[in-house]
Amino acid sequence: MDEVPGASRRRTTVGAATQVGTEVSINLGSALAGVAIPFVGSPIVVAARQLVMVVVLLPFYRPRRALLTWRRLWPAVALGVSLAVMNLSFYEAVHLLGLGIAATVEFLGPLLLALATSRRLLDVGCVVVAGAGVVLLTGLEGTIDVWGVVLALVAAAGWAAYILLTRRVALGLPGLEGLTVASIVSLALILPIAAFTLPSAEFSWPVAGLLLGIGVLSSALPYALDTFILRRITARLYAIITSFGPVVAAVFGWIVLGERLGPVQLVAILLVCAAAGTAIATQRPAPASELEQTAEGLT
């Protein structure tokens, strides 16, 4: 049975509005992580994020054994690996580069993902403009930490994998069961690293509160909503909204962390966002796969 056009538009509007909210939530959480990392280090911050997520999800979305065949489970396991890599590398990049710069470099992941199958000259131009923006951001004003840039690029690759795998998990497993599995896998990977850094950590009640807030804002809330969002909007629209993420990150970096970006760096961030928005907004949507059509008919 075909979906009523008005209902389809409402689903898309709700999904898009929710995605805007997740951008605010996750970037505020990242800014708070920038406050906590000097006290406890990136691995403990990531472990706290994933622990909060598991505690929130597991009591309500315990995976059913009958559904956990390897064919259905492997995307959730892969998603857990991508979460661990993406979060750990990104937070360390935030520590070394600052939130605005790290978030802009990381955004190359979803941007290149959106353009991966394109053959249009316009898209080539947008990639060149985005690349120029990143060069301006990381190379022409002040000194930049090369290792921080490398980590931000690793986070970019992890984010691209996250987008692909989240949509597959959302379509393949009911509710948030796939995300619960991914969270457990990610936590299992991060905990040994976090345990190794415990002796040098400086814990206090304010820091513990920060870690809890980071877990809710950066993991439990946005990642849970992403499975809701990606059932209602296309990966293309998701990427368009996400293209404004670096600007949101720069704002929270300024408000929470006191980061000061120079004029060249601000122009660079705007260049990357403009190139991404132009390239993605002018893409022709791909036909829905049989799996997606079936899933949409059930929602």
Tell me the DSSP string of 205-236: HHHHHHHHHHHIIIIIHHHHHHHHHTTTS-HH
pLDDT given at position 189? 94
The conformation of residue 66, written as its DSSP 8-state character, comes to G
What tokens appear for 64 in the block? 């059913």
Torsion sign over Cα 292, 158, 71, 191: negative
What tokens appear for 184 in the block? 């457990």
Give dist(CA 98, CA 158) in Å, integer. 19
Give dist(CA 72, CA 165) in Å, integer. 12
CB 98 within 8 A of CB 141: no
Residue 5: pLDDT band (50, 70, 90) is low
pLDDT given at position 84? 93
CB 90 within 8 A of CB 108: no
Q: Rounded to two decimals, what is the model's pTM?
A: 0.78
Q: pLDDT of 82-126, one tens digit each? A: 999 999 999 999 999 889 889 888 888 877 776 776 667 777 777
Residue 141: pLDDT band (50, 70, 90) is low
Give dist(CA 155, CA 247) in Å, integer. 18
Measuring CA to CA, how many Å separate 66 from each of 18, 36, 63, 166? Answer: 32, 40, 9, 21
Give dist(CA 234, CA 84) in Å, integer. 25
Q: pLDDT of 191-206, one tens digit each? A: 999 999 999 989 899 9
pLDDT given at position 175? 60
Residue 127: pLDDT band (50, 70, 90) is confident
Say what percent of the chain tops pLDDT 90: 26
**Domain boundaries of the chain, sorted by first residue:** 5-298
Given a cut of 50, whether residue 292 has pLDDT beyond it is no
CB 268 within 8 A of CB 49: no
pLDDT given at position 3? 52
Mean pLDDT of 160-179: 76
pLDDT given at position 291? 39
CB atoms < 10 A from the CB of 164, how many?
17
Give dist(CA 118, CA 112) in Å, integer. 10
Q: Which amino acid is at 56?
A: V
Residue 272: pLDDT band (50, 70, 90) is confident
Segment holding 222, helix H or strand E: helix 221-229
Give dist(CA 161, CA 248) in Å, integer. 22
pLDDT given at position 1? 45
Residue 214: pLDDT band (50, 70, 90) is very high
pLDDT given at position 293? 44
pLDDT given at position 264? 82
CB 269 within 8 A of CB 246: yes
Mean pLDDT of 32-55: 91
Give dist(CA 174, CA 226) in Å, integer. 14
Least confident of 30-44, 61-75, 141-155: 61-75
* SS3 category, 284: coil
Among residues 223, 164, 172, 147, which one has the least CA distance to residue 69? 172
